[in-house]
Structure 1
Amino acid sequence: MSISTKSLPLPTSAPAAVRTSLQPRSIRVFEQDLPVPGPGEVLVRTEYCGLCGSDLHIWNGDDGYDWVPCGTVLGHEIVGTVVRVNGSSAIAPGTRVVAVAQSGCGDCPACASEYANGCAHRLTLGLSQDGGAAGFVRIPFAQLIPVPEHIPALTAVLTEPLSVAARAVASRGLVTHADAVVVSGPGTIGILAALVCKHLGARVVLKGPERDVAARSGLAAQLGLELVAELPPGYRPNVWIEAAGAAAALDDAVRELSVLGRLVVVALYGSPPVVAANDAVRKELNVITSYSSHRADYQLALRILQERPDLGDLLVDVVPLRNIALAFEKVGRGIAPKVAVAP
């Protein structure tokens, strides 16, 4: 198969953020040869790549991430432009795309059910294969989704985290306009989950500790979100999206949810939380978990971003890729809901 290229020449090398060891702060930016797309792959010029909690764990050298191989280029929250195509593809050079982070083997029962999360041989960009914190990244056709024309790249870089929120709210939580929702944790996923609830027509309250309310009240107002430290008097949710990763938030959810309510847990916890299980049983609460996202969740995320093309300006702090240490410092301090690097 021939490789189709754009008319403009490409450089022979580009910067890439590479894991060099299992020690803390062992991510370095090097010049690397451009990746060569194999059959069924395209070469994407990265415009922005978001950094998330998994990337921060790798930067910190935390336990549980030693399976990410040294030599891996980080980054799975990718938006960029196709510049080379190896083979036949409906996605032509010059198309702006986002990448679905995970892919399965295609042959197992989980993949037959279009559930790549359950594939024992799944691959994840930026973790088990090279990602997009680089000038260029090669990605299979099947993992690409074209970005609608009027969504700027700075907003499109939110697609992957928004897809995680969309899965928690819409696919797993089944939220509709008839629901009263609380989202606990005004971090990236919490804010985006609240926006998904609004898109679906539900009433939603975003809840966090007083320090977070003070820090994010202005942003919440710009987003049209109600951010509180205590629930409004008389507000009785039937759905609770737990995005804080705090045991206290789970306690709040079990206490405040109405009978037969739905508790959707999308957060991960530093240590196993203790839940008031007897109270949850007596209320017959539906406890649901949500992890990662799938292609349909990305598509919903892009529909939401079409309604809010300004979200990138409100939520994303851009750092040059070569200043990767500064980028991770900002991620660790929660400077912005989303930190992205630009090659």
Structure 2
Amino acid sequence: MLGCVIHGQGDLRVEELASPVPGPGQALVAVRYGGVCGSDLHYWRHGGVGDFRLKEPMVPGHEVVGTVVAYGSATPSPARPPAGTPVAVHPATPCGVCPECADGRRHVCRDTRYLGSAARTPHVQGGFAGEIVVPVEQLRPLPGGLGPRRAALAEPLAVALHAVGRAGPVAGRHVLVTGAGPIGCLVVAAAKAAGAARVTVTDLLPTALGHAGAVGADTLVQAEDPADPGWPSEVDVAVEASGVAAGLDSCLRLVRRGGVVVQLGMLPPGRSPFAGNLVVSREIELRGAFRFDTEFDAALRLLAAEPAFDALISAVVPVRDAESAFALAADRARSCKVLLDFGR
């Protein structure tokens, strides 16, 4: 089978990989689509994401959907969808015993395994391969009416739903989103689904702002233009989805006194300057948002109900052309979400 392997910074290869064999409690899944995520691009372009650095070749990818092929021995029948079932794959395997898991915060488990992640060594190999083996608990049958192409957005949408949940109640409120990449656009959709009265989005690129408008943003702001009439005087909630310090600065300066800022974008490694004096003098609540847990199931339901999400899929590229797919995904002026097609 074909798979993508990142051997180091700038070194992405499409290789013939051995088909895996499922063990007890595991499922073999034939991957159909895999969404290229910002973290995949960071591993390819920079050799790491934040503090997670590549130390060995790794198959990237954690936004995957496919079809159940088979199960390993001793896998309980009631727990497994029948072979041939279209499924999305929840990419996280939390340890279940650490203090975070015991506290119901499995998404920040200190010993989790996450598809396509260099957070631990040996690295957790990801989903950009023709077939993968995953714990049966990570399979999610697709809801009726949801095809695999749109379902490939489930993982990033779950990230967005978690971030909006971290903000607290947003119904009837004005929400600012800085950054209109795929995650930022999905935060727009998640905020609207949660009842936000108004969503303002900022970005440097008109194309990206157009994608945000397609999923429900009310006001689009050119981030480099301080005179843009769309800039709000203040907002109730802000979600920073760009991963740059300037975005966080905008959030802190525009959120109202006592408001909430959620840092979702992964900032560069090391120290990042921010307007901490505003956090104090305005008693702003600054909250982090990392991955997700049960929001994955909610994401699938929302995707099944809303065809507008299709507008975020810019291209579907055969796996043999993975490097061109990564290059397209990295060009925000030409794309939003790019999918790799592993169909045979």
Match of 1:154 among 149, 155, 162: 149
Match of 1:60 among 45, 66, 74: 45
How far 1:145 sits from its partner (Å)? Answer: 1.5
With 190-199 and 28-37 compared, the bigger mean Cα shift is at 28-37
Match of 1:77 among 51, 63, 67: 63
Distance across 1 between alignment mates of 2:114 and 2:40: 12
Indicate conservation of the 8 Å contact 1:95/1:146, yes or no.
yes
Unaligned runs of 5+ in 2: 118-122, 223-227
Distance across 2 between alignment mates of 1:219 and 1:54: 20
For 1:69, give the aligned amino acid.
Answer: E
Q: In the alignment, what sits opposite 2:285? A: 286
For 2:141, give the aligned amino acid.
Answer: P
Does the C-alpha gap of structure 1 residues 262 and 65 become closer, same or farther in structure 2, counting only changes over 3 Å? closer
Does the C-alpha gap of structure 1 residues 157 and 92 become closer, same or farther in structure 2, counting only changes over 3 Å? same
Cα deviation digits, residues 202-251 of structure 1 (max 9, x gap): 12323224x42x22344344323222234647653110011112222222
How far 1:61 sits from its partner (Å)? Answer: 4.1
Three-state SS of the structure 2 residue aligned to 1:245 is: coil
Cα deviation digits, residues 162-197 of structure 1 (max 9, x gap): 111110002x11133132111111111111001001
Q: In the alignment, what sits opposite 2:197? A: 203
Distance across 2 between alignment mates of 1:61 and 1:235: 37
- Whether 1:138 aligns to 2:133 is yes
Q: How does 1:3-82 map to 2 (within 5 A)?
A: 14-19=1-6, 21-22=7-8, 24-62=9-47, 64-67=51-54, 69-70=56-57, 72-82=58-68
For 1:339, give the aligned amino acid.
Answer: V
How far 1:327 sits from its partner (Å)? Answer: 1.1
Q: In the alignment, what sits opposite 1:94? A: 84
Distance across 1 between alignment mates of 2:311 and 2:214: 11
Unaligned runs of 5+ in 1: 1-13
Indicate conservation of the 8 Å contact 2:208/2:336, yes or no.
no
Cα deviation digits, residues 32-88 of structure 1 (max 9, x gap): 221111110111111101111221122124354434532x32211111111112222
Three-state SS of the structure 2 residue aligned to 1:268 is: coil
Q: In the alignment, what sits opposite 2:319? A: 321
Q: In the alignment, what sits opposite 1:177? A: 171
Does the C-alpha gap of structure 1 residues 221 and 74 become closer, same or farther in structure 2, counting only changes over 3 Å? closer
How far 1:27 sits from its partner (Å)? Answer: 2.3
How far 1:312 sits from its partner (Å)? Answer: 2.9
For 1:201, give the aligned amino acid.
Answer: G
Match of 1:215 among 196, 207, 215: 207
For 1:202, give the aligned amino acid.
Answer: A
Distance across 2 between alignment mates of 1:316 and 1:308: 17
- Whether 1:262 aligns to 2:260 is yes
Distance across 2 between alignment mates of 1:120 and 1:234: 39
How far 1:117 sits from its partner (Å)? Answer: 3.7
Q: In the alignment, what sits opposite 1:238? A: 236
Indicate conservation of the 8 Å contact 1:155/1:310, yes or no.
no
Distance across 2 between alignment mates of 1:150 and 1:273: 44
How far 1:198 sits from its partner (Å)? Answer: 0.5
Distance across 1 between alignment mates of 2:195 and 2:22: 42
Does the C-alpha gap of structure 1 residues 220 and 168 become closer, same or farther in structure 2, counting only changes over 3 Å? closer
Distance across 2 between alignment mates of 1:112 and 1:217: 40
Between the two proteins, the alignment pairs up a number of residues equal to 323
Indicate conservation of the 8 Å contact 2:185/2:211, yes or no.
no
Q: How does 1:103-122 map to 2 (within 5 A)?
A: 103-122=93-112
Three-state SS of the structure 1 residue aligned to 2:286 is: strand
Indicate conservation of the 8 Å contact 1:98/1:145, yes or no.
yes
Distance across 2 between alignment mates of 1:118 and 1:197: 22
Distance across 2 between alignment mates of 1:105 and 1:234: 43
Does the C-alpha gap of structure 1 residues 173 and 322 become closer, same or farther in structure 2, counting only changes over 3 Å? same
Distance across 2 between alignment mates of 1:69 and 1:54: 16
Does the C-alpha gap of structure 1 residues 263 and 247 become closer, same or farther in structure 2, counting only changes over 3 Å? same
Does the C-alpha gap of structure 1 residues 60 and 222 become closer, same or farther in structure 2, counting only changes over 3 Å? closer
Three-state SS of the structure 1 residue aligned to 2:172 is: coil
Q: In the alignment, what sits opposite 2:275? A: 276
Q: In the alignment, what sits opposite 2:120? A: none
Distance across 2 between alignment mates of 1:247 and 1:39: 46
How far 1:114 sits from its partner (Å)? Answer: 3.8
Three-state SS of the structure 2 residue aligned to 1:33 is: coil
Distance across 1 between alignment mates of 2:318 and 2:80: 32
Distance across 2 between alignment mates of 1:236 and 1:117: 31
TM-score by length of 2: 0.87
Distance across 1 between alignment mates of 2:300 and 2:83: 20
Indicate conservation of the 8 Å contact 2:170/2:195, yes or no.
yes
